[in-house]
Amino acid sequence: MKKDFLSIRDRTREEILATLSLASTVKSHPEKFASSLKGRTLAMIFEKPSLRTRATFDIGIQQLGGFSLLLLPTEINLGKRESLYDVTKNLERMVQGIMIRTFSHQVVLDMARFASVPVINGLTDYSHPCQAMADYFTIQETKGSLAGLKLCYVGDGNNVAHSLMFAGARLGVHVTITCPKGYEPNPDALRLAMDDASLSGASIEISHDPDTAVHAADVVYTDVWASMGQESEAEERRKIFQPFQVNRKLMGKAKPGAIFMHCLPAHRGDEVTDEVIDAEYSVVFQQAENRLHVQKAIMLQLMQ
């Protein structure tokens, strides 16, 4: 297994399943791991605001017996007050792992290249691998298995969509991304996912018709229409994406027993209605909790 966790594509199918299995054990028997990372410190760099990433990594490392160090933009001003290289070379002498939540994916790649300690991607504009790991862990918990399921992602072809495709392609899950024209996933990310899918028996499809796309879906997933950094486009996107709102009518076109997922935060009334996100088939808060268990598993694999 590689030193870092930067993308789902860093891991083979077997390695992903091993992480999910460990996450299940950690969730069921947290007491067994209470001292596993005793004396170890995780530096947490946040250039984007966070609730779930902050809470789950912070709580997670402490539940494993370790410590966390929170570093905010006002404190380090990465790349401006001090170079990325210098920040990384300082931290590697003080901590046993670095989690970074930032804008540019290249920052994460460079930090991992500079660092002798593990680097974990807490989110970039290109990918959100920890989220996707928690998502597939939640699907596995709910559905019992993964291979052969259909996941339909409704909305912007963003970082979450990329990681869902990457993981689905590795795990044999059929992933359909349905979005307005012009808002498709990054072409390179799509190509990589399709290449992986050809080896696992999965399929990756792009659709511009949500009614057709969600047909026979086991999982319907959405995200905000305007991500962090796209606030100026929010009003325009609201008009363009309105036909892609996940409401009761759209969920009714999915397979009976389908679950609803959202990585949160949700803009209720935009990408999803209250009647869907609060329905019995919604697993959004189970998803959020599972970030904790999956990330504990990732830290255990990288920092022990």
Best CA proximity match to 245, nearest among 214, 274, 209, 270: 270
Nearest to 241 by CA among 260, 255, 227, 229: 227
How much is the average pLDDT of 273-277? 98
Is 293 annotated as catalytic? Answer: no
Domains of the chain, CATH where assigned: 8-128+290-303 (3.40.50.1370), 131-287 (3.40.50.1370)
Res 230: pLDDT: 72
Task: Give the pLDDT of residue 228.
Answer: 65
291 tagged catalytic: yes
Beta bridge partners of 46: 101
Residue-wise pLDDT for 228-272, tens only, equals 667 778 889 999 999 999 999 999 999 999 999 999 999 999 999
Q: Pick the catalytic residue: 263, 270, 293, 295?
A: 263
Instruction: Tell me which residue of 151, 200, 211 sits closest to 176, measured CA to CA.
Output: 151
With left for phi above 0 and alpha for psi between -120 and 50, is residue 268 left, alpha or beta?
beta
Q: Active-site residue among 58, 135, 223, 270?
A: 223
**101 noted as active-site residue:** yes
Tell me the backbone φ, ψ of residue 97, rounded to 5 degrees. Answer: -170, 150
Q: Which of 52, 128, 170, 262 is catalytic?
A: 128
Active site residue 263: yes
Q: Tell me the CA end-to-end span of the chain in Å, nearest whole number.
A: 13
Q: What pLDDT, on a 0 to 100 scale, did the predictor assign at position 229?
A: 66
| Of 131, 140, 245, 287, catalytic | 131
Query: How far apart are alpha carbons 46 and 228 in whole angstroms?
Result: 13
223 given a catalytic annotation: yes
Helix 159-171 / helix 13-28 crossing angle, nearest 10 deg: 100
* Per annotation, catalytic residue among 52, 101, 170, 293: 101
What pTM did the predictor assign? 0.96
Given a cut of 80, is residue 301 above it in pLDDT?
A: yes
pLDDT tens-digit readout, 194-232: 999 999 999 999 999 999 999 999 999 999 998 766 777
Q: For the segment 115-124, what is each residue's pLDDT rounded down to a tens digit?
A: 999 999 999 9
Q: Residues 6 or more apart from 285 whose CB is under 8 A from it? A: none
How many Å apart are CA 217 and CA 255, to the nearest integer? 5
Active site residue 131: yes
